[in-house]
A and B are shown apart, each in its own frame.
Chain A
Amino acid sequence: MTIANENRITIAILALGGQGGGVLADWIQEVARAEGWLAQGTSVPGVAQRTGSTVYYVELAKPDGSGRLPVMAQMPMPGDVDVVVASELMETGRALLRGFSTAGRTTLIGSTHRIYAIGEKQAMGDGRGNGEKIIEAAYQRSKRFIGFDMEAATDRSGSVISAIMFGALAGSGGLPFAANTYRAAIEHSGIAVKSNLKGFKEGFDRAQQPVARPDEITHDLPVPTTEQGRALAARIAANLPPPAQANALHGVAKLMDWQDGAYAALYLDRLETVASLDAAPFELTAETARHLALWMGYEDTIRVADLKTRASRITRVRGEVKAGDEQILSITEFMHPRLQEVCETLPAGIGRRILASKGLTKLLGRFFTEGRHVETTGLRWFLALRTVAAMRSIRPRSLRYIEEQERIEHWLELVRTEAAKDRELALELVLCQRLIKGYGDTFERGLGNFQRIVAEHARAPRDAAGVRTLRELALADDKSSGLTEALAG
């Protein structure tokens, strides 16, 4: 039994430290007072001020003319909140979690963009929470849900997110106040008035529009532009089951960019041997198309040098760091090539000989102990990197290439052997390629974990679920302690 008070409006603001939740709360109170209402707000910022999530609470009351002051509560009460403003999607979720938003009563204004929490960011794979579920719940548990990407709106208007939220609140009509009173509050504060008014307008307008779900990234299928490309595309269409074709097209395009058409053809040769053992729904082939392409397109010094010096990359960086046309941009890379990587890039014979010789390793190793600041936008380093990139033509003779092809063949052989008996198990083994990523220590750790799982499977064969468990353990922590424990037990 909650009796809503007709003369009172309760507002909860959920924001992260530093987003200006307190400024927003002050603005709202100023608007209310200007409109003849009584206003009170409170919060518990404390240490949460430093990036943690914080709740601000504002209570507005219509005076009854007696001069008495209503007794105001100090915190949003679950089931008794009229308006919720949340600065981020999971904070919108937190408002729902805390029961602040009620179906049939609450106007829920929430941003749909994500600021990932440290727990989500530090995962070795994908630790992100599912925002779609939050948006659904936001609809179910509110009278009206106003959702849009407030960060994008902030960027568009060159403002701050608190101004966007303030505008969205005004635009929502959730409070009985005129838009001009809101604007006056911004003007009265005297701080960043122009940009805040711009942000206010942006938020106000967006609140009139239907909920904008977060953009999903879609990848257009690559369209062949060369004779060779068309031939490979035709081969995919003819030889591979439809569920695997998209990944195969992306794979071919990637590997032609990475090496050449012949290498892409080798990719299809390999893929087809797995496809021939597969049956509907062809998940094994589709995932092999993905992971084989990723493995065959491993990251080496040649690839990195090439990607870093492309014109498209410089343009992308310019956009990302918001460098104006009149501004000069210089880019410095943090590279740390070790003797190991250098030798891997050299023709196998030379590379092996250096690595096998203690004297040479010691002599040459001295040059590769320090990290290097590589200024790609300077001519000297640009030309050096282009030279490394040009080594693509001799890549098939490099030590790394030979080692990787051996590993790939070994893996595919295992997948094919298992696929003949148990396709599910084969699929799990394919997915284990996900463990192999990164550079330097990270690469070695991932490859090591992959090899340990494969070795364990060879020693004491596991079923699909068993392999999946080991893979998940390998991704659980970067000391691989869970995997080590499981393998020991």
Chain B
Amino acid sequence: MAERSFKKEVLKLTAGEGEVFTGEGILAVTKGLLQSGVAYVGGYQGSPISHLMDVFADANDLLESLGVHFEASASEATAAAMLAASVNYPLRGAVAWKSVVGTNVASDALSNVSSGGVTGGALVIVGEDYGEGSSIMQERTHAFAMKSQMWLIDPRPNLPSIVDSVEQGFRLSEASNTPVMLQLRVRSCHMTGSFVAKDNVRPPLTVGEAAASPVRDTDRIVLPPANFLHEVEKIEKRWPAGIAYVRDNKLNEWFGPEESPGDSGEGIGLIVQGGLYNNLNRAMELIGLADSYGVSKLPIYCLNVVYPIIPEEVAAFCKGKRAVMILEEGQPEFIEHELNTLIRREELDTRIVGKDMLPRSGEYTADVIRKGLAKFLEAYAPALAPQLEAANPLPAPVAKEIPQRPAGFCTGCPERPIFTAMKLVERELGPTHVSADIGCHLFSILPPFNIGNTTMGYGLGAAGASAFKPKEGEGSKRSIAIMGDGGFWHNGLTSGVGNAVFNKDDTVTMIIDNGYSAATGGQDILSSRAENANRVTKNPITKAVRGVGAKWVRETHRTYDLKGMTSMLREALTTEEKGPKVIVAQSECMLNKQRREKKATSAKLKAGERVVRERFGVDSDTCTGDHSCIRLSGCPSLTIKPNPDPLRQDPVAHVENSCVGCGLCGEVSHAAVLCPSFYRAQIVANPGKFERFKAKVSGAIMARWQAGADKARAARAF
């Protein structure tokens, strides 16, 4: 089950004609799909589209009643391949993932479906993880749209526009036999707002009905000679059809006057990606060039469809304008290049201004746009140029006190002890090359662990280590690969483990199995141990690993057992046995475990049942403030506090009440021979009679003893 329950949101999906839907952008998309008569939906979770997947997963009953087929796909490639259903049949299908990484994975299938073209509307919803808060490489999905010829919609960030673009996207796809990508930036996905809903529509043809009466057209398959025909068809048929649909249905928008104020025909104008429109308007509002409702003093041409560019619209907008600024986020600046080409072809003299005045990299926030716009106006319409206030940054002596706060493992995370073990083994055997993967475990590269050399993509941890064949004889070292259970099922079983078996790679692969695709929101996967009414779970990773031929396979069911973990790792690194060494380290994601157990515990407490709670603590009078324990853990609940000793100056370690008692602190102080300051407190609520009696008796004996000691101490005290 996913981290968040979306039962409430699922109810919203049933909204009918005229009802107001209020919620997040990405949920508006789900409603838009149902309103469009979508027949099937697939995808792979990841910020910022996890919620779309989670809602559909929770909406099973609704989807069944509408005849919509939903799959939580094994990977983005799987999801993209689902679009095959729209090739021969008039089925509307949508797939979704985090981009650009997901699009990378999906690109083989996307190329194929784009080459042959589609009959039913095919919509690829990409959450563009770019700019602040992003966890991936900063690239543009735009390039994929161009190379495979898929149309790219980048709607204005408001819910009515987003929902409209879902509906238009299907029609555009059908009108031009071309898959359409709908791109949503992170903030647009998480943006809240409202729109007026329409009734959900049953797909006119369901996937089951299509499967029952198959249609074949081998011209749609990428194999000579059809592949060459596809290329021609793309240029001669689908391209013009796409342009015509966008133009005739006015998918792009125009704002402001036809000519800019204050000049005689030699005006200026702005062309903006739809997704940046809100930021542009705010930038203009704050310098007096627009109002908060988008009434602009400058002509704006808003590209809700950023690919293809409509030549006649561009020509009409630029004609008679001295300079036009293009606001295009990311690089390379594909649109700017194309505008320049179109302007030359039309023999217009308009100067296209873009990356020469706006930053080449990074998010185009309202603040960035305001600065770029000021430069543009200064150069081409000085009368309108604003006087920007000088920045007043926080003085450096204050700013340097503010620490970086990167993401990290949660309190009690079962992955933490694995990296503690790696750090301890590293002390013994020296450093090894570590190939990291994608998932929560990648936090290992951050302090305090600082473990990991590279990451090559989701599920590619083991593949990333495959080049490192240890040298013969003295000083030979095996490299370690890390892989999460999510990455393992995504492709790591074949690309990593299978590859290592086949090539006799002498590496160590640590598969971290926490029972969920945890980093993306705790979705179930094949090896999840939870019961799932709609999916098949409980398929052990070790079985799969052995199935592809791995011989040296070890498994632990308690990653917190630091001693076991270190000895397993030591053995893997030093055993005589050749070939891949696979360790499956299995303990449930603490976030999910706590969510489940907290409820159960409070119910038990309410009922007056016996409940045992464990947590850790540090005795501040024996802690000397070296913080070795923190450097081997990094748990949020293990922190520091001012030293209560009047003579000591360094802060002491301290365990907060958020501690879940995972046990790592104690294991670390044993394994690393740290200090005796840690203690485990076991607190029994609603204890039994005998328990109470025993505690009372031993308590009384101890109290007497302690009283004696206190007396003696008082006698010799200051």
| Residues in A lying within 8 Å of B, measured CB to CB | 1-3, 5, 7-8, 16-18, 26, 29, 33, 39-55, 61, 64, 68-75, 77-80, 90, 93-94, 96-97, 99, 115-126, 128-131, 133-134, 136-137, 141, 217, 219, 222, 224-226, 228-229, 232-233, 246-247, 249-254, 256-257, 260-261, 264, 290, 293-294, 299, 303-304, 306-311, 313, 317, 320-324, 326-336, 338, 370-371, 373, 376-379, 382-383, 386, 389, 434, 437-442, 446, 478
**Are A121 and B681 in contact, with the CB atoms below 8 A?**
no
Chain A residue numbers with a CB within 8 Å of B186 are 44, 46
Quote the shortest CB–CB distance from A414 to chain B (angstroms): 21
| Residues A311 and B718 in contact in the complex (CB < 8 Å), given A8-B292, A52-B406 | no
Do residues B367 and A225 form an inter-chain contact, with CB atoms below 8 A?
A: no
In angstroms, Cα B519 to Cα A211, docked, is 38
Most A CB within 10 A of own CB, among B519, B646, B683: B646
CB distance from A59 to the nearest CB of B (A): 9
The reply to whether B705 and A118 contact each other, CB–CB distance below 8 Å, is no
A48 adjacent to B407 (CB under 8 Å): yes
Q: Does B447 contact A (CB under 8 A)?
A: yes
Query: How far, in Å, is A93 (CB) from chain B's closest CB?
Result: 4
Q: Which residue of B lies closest to A49 (CB)?
A: B407
Q: Contacts A44-B187, A226-B715, A440-B673; is A378 near B408 (CB within 8 Å)?
A: no
7 closest A-B pairs by beta carbon, nearest first, are: A371-B670, A44-B133, A219-B646, A52-B407, A437-B624, A117-B403, A253-B718
14 new A-B pairs (CB below 8 Å) besides A61-B292, A69-B293, A250-B646?
A: A1-B387, A42-B190, A124-B626, A134-B401, A256-B717, A299-B624, A321-B683, A324-B685, A327-B683, A328-B691, A373-B666, A434-B650, A442-B628, A478-B628
Residues of chain B within 8 A (CB-CB) of A33 are 22
Cβ contact within 8 Å between B293 and A68: yes
B137 touches A (CB below 8 Å): no
Instruction: Report yes or no: B187 in contact with A478, Cβ–Cβ below 8 A.
Output: no
19 contacts between A and B (CB under 8 A): A42-B187, A44-B133, A46-B186, A51-B408, A71-B292, A72-B278, A74-B191, A75-B279, A90-B403, A118-B406, A119-B404, A133-B398, A134-B401, A251-B647, A311-B710, A329-B683, A376-B679, A383-B705, A439-B674
Answer whether residue B380 sits at the interface, using C-beta atoms and an 8 A cutoff. Answer: no
Which residue from chain A places its CB closest to the CB of B678 in the assembled complex? A334
A residues less than 8 Å from B574 (CB atoms): none
Residues A5 and B717 in contact in the complex (CB < 8 Å), given A48-B133, A121-B630, A334-B669? no
CA distance A439 to B671 in the complex (A): 13
Nearest to B413 among chain A residues (CB) is: A50
Judging by beta carbons under 8 Å apart, are A382 and B682 in contact?
no
Is there an interface contact between B680 and A334, defined as CB atoms closer than 8 Å?
yes
Q: Does B132 make an interface contact (CB < 8 A)?
A: yes
Q: Which residues of B contact A93 (CB under 8 A)?
A: 394, 398, 401-402
Q: Are A5 and B408 neighbours in the complex by a CB distance under 8 Å?
A: no
Q: In whole angstroms, how far apart are the Cα atoms of A434 and B684 in the complex?
A: 40
Chain A residues with CB under 8 A of B440? 50
A29 to B642, CA, bound (A): 39
Alpha-carbon gap, A99 to B366, bound state (A): 14
> How far, in angstroms, from A126 to B626 measured CA to CA in the complex?
9
> How far is it, in angstroms, between the C-alpha of A137 and the C-alpha of B706 when the chains are bound?
50
Closest chain-B Cβ to A185's Cβ sits at a distance in Å of 14
Residue of A with least CB distance to B675:
A439
B410: A residues at CB distance < 8 A? 18, 50-51
On whether the beta carbons of B718 and A222 are closer than 8 Å, the reply is yes
B676 within 8 A of partner (CB) = yes
Residues of A within 8 A of B715 (CB): 226
Q: How many angstroms from the CA of A294 to the CA of B647 in the assembled complex? A: 7
Q: Which residue of A lies closest to B708 (CB)?
A: A386
Q: Which chain A residues border B401 with CB–CB below 8 Å?
A: 90, 93, 129-131, 133-134
Q: A281 CB to closest chain B CB, in angstroms? A: 18
A219: which B residues are within 8 A, CB to CB? 646
Tell me, rounded to whole Å, the shortest Cβ–Cβ distance linking B520 to chain A. Answer: 10
Contact B366 A75 (CB under 8 A): yes
Do residues A331 and B681 form an inter-chain contact, with CB atoms below 8 A?
Answer: yes
By a CB distance below 8 angstroms, the chain A residues around B622 are: 299, 303-304, 307-308
Q: A39-B192, A68-B293, A70-B293 known; A437 and B405 CB under 8 Å?
A: no
- Tell me whether B361 is interfacial, beta carbon within 8 Å: no
Minimum CB–CB distance from B293 to chain A (whole Å) comes to 5
- Report the nearest A residue to B439, measured CB to CB: A47
Find chain A residues with CB under 8 A from B365 CB. 75, 77
- Whether the pair A52, B679 counts as a contact (CB closer than 8 A) is no
Given contacts A310-B710, A329-B682, contact A94 B626 (CB under 8 A): no
CA of A228 to CA of B680, assembled, Å: 38
| CB-based contact B649/A257 at 8 Å | no
**Which residues of B have CB within 8 Å of A250?**
646-647
Contact B398 A134 (CB under 8 A): yes
Q: Is the CB of A51 within 8 A of B407?
A: yes
Q: With A118-B634, A334-B680 in contact, is A290–B666 under 8 Å at CB?
A: no
Asked if residues A1 and B676 are in contact (CB atoms below 8 Å), the reply is no
* Contact partners of A379 in chain B: CB under 8 A: 698, 701-702
Residue in A closest to B189 when the chains form the complex, CB atoms: A42
Q: Which of B373-414 contact A (CB under 8 A)?
A: 386-389, 391-395, 397-399, 401-410
Please give, as numbers and ranges, the residues of chain A lying within 8 Å of B22 by CB-CB distance.
Answer: 33
A113 to B435, CA, bound (A): 38
Contacts of A378 in B (CB 8 A): 698
How far apart are the CA atoms of A69 and B161 in the complex, in Å? Answer: 12
Which among B48, B287, B288, B398 has the highest number of chain A CB atoms within 10 Å? B398
Taking a contact as CB atoms under 8 Å apart, the answer to whether B403 and A313 are in contact is no
Given that A310-B710, A439-B675 are known contacts, is A1 also in contact with B287, CB under 8 Å in the complex?
A: yes
Contact string against A for B residues 497-523, beta-carbon threshold 8 Å, 1 for contact and 0 otherwise: 000000000000000000000010000
Kindly state the separation between the CA atoms of A116 and B443 in the bound complex, as whole angstroms: 18
